[in-house]
Amino acid sequence: MLQAPQRTGLSGPTLIRLLTRLTDVDVPESRQPLSDHLSQWLGWTDAIALSAALNNRPPAIAPGARQFSSQEERECERVRTTLADAIASDTAATAAKRVMPGQMPAKAAAALQADDADYANFRQRYLSLQHTMETSIGNLRSRLRGMVAAKTPDMTRLAVVDAIMDRALLPRERTLLGAIPKLLQGHFDRLRLAEKAALDDVAAQADAPTGEADTEPAGTPPQATLTAPTPGAWLETFRKDMRSVLLAELDVRLQPVEGLLAALRAS
């Protein structure tokens, strides 16, 4: 079975540790505090808006706002489950060529799909799933923020801060998360090349003259027989790795929602 290159991972969210393990990008772990990073990402207009939200009297609570209930809890879980299911089904199905059942044996069909696999298909599906996550989670976050704002003046201030941070950090989020498909292309290519090299080694050993071993000096241990990988197995490995990265990204995107939920539960 093909394995991703083993590298020492960084600490932090699962998404960061997965990308460190799967890619060949060697980035040292930052020692800079998160607050310093945020100060570099926020523009001066964002800083002014945050200062005003934190230091001024919060806006009046809008009357008639919808109150938080178990229905919203279920809706949050539904959004998470729907997105996770979309990731699982999409990454399992993505392939460059479809082979109808009954046309050929399953192993031969898998090998054919792997031979014809084009990373452009995976990149497009990754970007599409990212857009779906951003839209669904953004709408959910906005609804929860409105419920937070309807609680107390302090909760209203929290909702305003969340809205400012959402607006300010969204471009940075899109840039950073949008780089993931390019990082995964290197993993895609390495897995394909690793399987080809393994198959070539097995073929070369099989083609070696049978009497070649007689020329080895006495006492030389016999050469181990190489086991051929299943043709096309690399593509299934990549699909599983891409699914793991997408699910880890989903967890990162849902963190602001989890924060708003925690605030509503505690109010």
- Locate tokens 């299911």: which residue? 85
Sign of the dihedral defined by the CA atoms of residues 158, 167, 133, 27, in that order: negative
Position 11 pLDDT exceeds 80: no
pLDDT for the residue numbered 104: 46
CA dist 79 and 254 (Å) reads 10
The one-letter code for the residue type at 15 is: L
DSSP per residue, 95-107: -SS---TTSS-HH
CA dist 89 and 104 (Å) reads 23
User: How many other C-beta atoms are found inside a 10 Å radius of the C-beta of residue 166?
Assistant: 15
pLDDT digits (tens, 9 = 90+) for 128-145: 999 999 999 999 999 999
pLDDT digits (tens, 9 = 90+) for 151-189: 888 999 999 999 999 999 999 999 999 999 999 999 999
pLDDT for the residue numbered 251: 96
CA dist 49 and 28 (Å) reads 33
Q: What proportion of the chain, given as a percentage, has pLDDT over 70?
A: 72
* Exposure letters 15-46 (e unless 16+ CB within 10 A, then b): bbebbbbbbeeeeeeeeeeeeeebeeebeeeb
Better pLDDT: 90 or 140 = 140
CA dist 202 and 231 (Å) reads 12
pLDDT digits (tens, 9 = 90+) for 48-66: 888 888 888 877 666 655 6
Q: Which two tokens stand for residue 246?
A: 């997408």
Residue 183: CB partners within 8 Å, gap ≥ 6? 19, 22, 23, 25
Q: Which stretches within 150-266 are classed as H helix?
A: 153-178, 180-207, 233-253, 255-266
pLDDT digits (tens, 9 = 90+) for 204-261: 776 666 655 455 565 555 555 656 668 788 999 999 999 999 999 999 999 999 999 9
pLDDT for the residue numbered 219: 57
